[in-house]
Amino acid sequence: MADLSYLDSVILGVVEGLTEYLPVSSTGHLTITEKLLGLEVNDPAVTAYTAVIQLGAIAATLLFFHKDIIRFARAWFRGLANADARRDPDYGLAWAVVIGSIPVGIVGFALRGLISGGLRSLWVVAAALLLWSVVMVVSERVYARHEKAGTTRGEHSVTPVDGVVIGLVQCFSLIPGVSRSGATISMGIARGIDRLTATRLSFFLAIPALTAAGLFQAVDERDNLVTFGVGPVLVGIVVAFVVAYASIAWLLRFVASNSLLPFVWYRVALGVVLAGVLAAGLISAT
């Protein structure tokens, strides 16, 4: 296994921060980047590092949305204790996040061996980039019909049922190349939730999912992870935090008036190029 330098840590932190919340697949981009850096993408230490630096992106989300998180938490606890408080729309949205976070946790834990092993292939990344792009295009067409019919919904209309459906679809993001935000935003808009609300909901769903994955990997793979040293790990987390914070602010402005199609074209181009490079034997898949 190749050593992880501080420069490698910075590069991986930038890639994580840029791609974690954009619908282009952070795991896919990290896998590609790790391969180009000469790292073994299916090595337990590399897999653990990929998960742990997500904590930087999660910290950025917590800071960016801390007022919303406090508001939802208060509404949820008030609703648990008081029937009248359950009429607060924030109570329903809080339940959507809680319930929507459960499926990916169960599936991710049950299939953790496959996710960190067999699926860590660049062929899987290429296929997922291309195939999920089709889902994103279909979602955009469904959303266009909602817009035309005037049936789009805002944050106060998000329900626990939305959380269940979006949470189930989020499980597909465990496949490198699909993209967690791509899966959740696509299903959100397909259900008629407006773009900005669907994107915000995607961020909220990311908090428990990525925090659990990062902490579990940090504990479960601590012996492998220490082979890189504390310094490179901390650098990756800090860089991911800074870049992710800027990415969140940009994405929220972008989706307010744009569709997901620019990301689709990028995904398709990257998937085609990656498949071509693999087919030509220029790089290996694992």
Tens-place pLDDT, residues 200-236: 999 999 888 778 777 777 777 677 667 778 888 899 9
1 within some domain: no
232 within some domain: yes
286 within some domain: no
pLDDT in tens, 56-99: 999 999 999 999 999 999 999 999 988 888 888 899 999 999 99
Q: What is the 3-state secondary structure (H, E, C) of 235-254?
A: HHHHHHHHHHHHHHHHHHHH
Q: Which amino acid, 131?
A: L
77 within some domain: yes
Radius of gyration of the chain (CA): 19
Angle at 36 between CA 34 and CA 40, to 5 degrees: 45
Is the CB of residue 172 less than 8 Å from the CB of residue 25?
no
Phi, psi (degrees; rounded to nearest 5) at 281: 80, 15
39 within some domain: yes
Domain that holds residue 221: 6-279
176 within some domain: yes
pTM of the full structure: 0.89
74 within some domain: yes
208 within some domain: yes
Counted domains in the chain: 1
